Structure 1
Amino acid sequence: MSYTADFISELTWAANEVDKLSTNEYRRLVERAVKMVGEMRLETGTRPSRGNYVAMGNLEIAALMTEAAANNDEVEGVLLNLAGMIRALKIMVDGKIDVRKGD
């Protein structure tokens, strides 16, 4: 498996085992995921629109608010949203690589 696929699995596992996560583990996962989303957007050439900035900002704000409230359902939601974003971007990155190979 690739690093990206491993990380998606890690986020999904963490979401399913949220009651076992420490605040620091949760924070690190969110930081890594937000960084990865940004890097993958650059790789795909996806120019962030206002909506994309708002979506990432909302996720980061939700992550901080969830951390403060320690609501497991919200933590699970944030982690699964980030996993979904990374999964979608991975599909785009893989598709872009296949197109380049075909040229």
Structure 2
Amino acid sequence: MSSIPAFISELIRAANEIEKLTPHEMSRLLDRSVDTIRDMREQTGRAGRRRARDVLIDLQVASSRARDLSPEDARDTLLDAADLIRALRIMQDGEE
């Protein structure tokens, strides 16, 4: 679980240095976010909710369109992923 805070930091750092990120790196971070969120939701029992699936779809679409995202959209998407992972971590910590 200690890798989750490091990944959140990595997402925030990438968002703050968006101009240094290649489309491939952006896509890789978003794909990793999708996998992380999916795994965390399964652990917290929130995997089947409709809105939960919608967010994952949004992140997957952003990943596939990484080359076409404006710097602002790319930054916001990375920050959204970080916020969601942080919220899921808080939920997990509350259940332990």
Q: If the length of structure 2 is used for normalisation, what is the TM-score?
A: 0.91
User: Counterparts of 1:29 and 1:8 in 2: how far apart (Å)?
Assistant: 10
User: Counterparts of 1:31 and 1:56 in 2: how far apart (Å)?
Assistant: 10
Deviating more after overlay: 52-61 vs 84-93: 52-61
Read off the aligned partner of 1:30 and give its amino acid letter. Answer: L
Q: What is the Cα deviation at residue 59 of structure 1?
A: 2.3
Q: After TM superposition, which residue ranges in structure 1, 4 or more long, deviate above 6 angstroms?
A: none
Read off the aligned partner of 1:91 and give its amino acid letter. Answer: I
Count of equivalent residues = 96
Partner of 2:85: 86
Read off the aligned partner of 2:86 and give its amino acid letter. Answer: R
Read off the aligned partner of 2:85 and give its amino acid letter. Answer: I
- RMSD of aligned C-alpha atoms? 1.5
User: Counterparts of 1:83 and 1:50 in 2: how far apart (Å)?
Assistant: 20
User: Counterparts of 1:89 and 1:77 in 2: how far apart (Å)?
Assistant: 18
Contact 1:18 1:76 (C-alpha < 8 Å) held by counterparts: yes
Which entry has the higher C-alpha Rg, 1 or 2?
1
Partner of 1:100: none
What fraction of aligned residue pairs are identical, expressed as a percent? Answer: 38
User: Counterparts of 2:69 and 2:63 in 1: how far apart (Å)?
Assistant: 10
User: Counterparts of 1:49 and 1:70 in 2: how far apart (Å)?
Assistant: 27
Q: Which runs of 5+ in 1 are unaligned?
A: 98-103
Q: Which runs of 5+ in 2 are unaligned?
A: none
User: Counterparts of 2:43 and 2:70 in 1: how far apart (Å)?
Assistant: 34
Q: What is the Cα deviation at residue 63 of structure 1?
A: 3.3
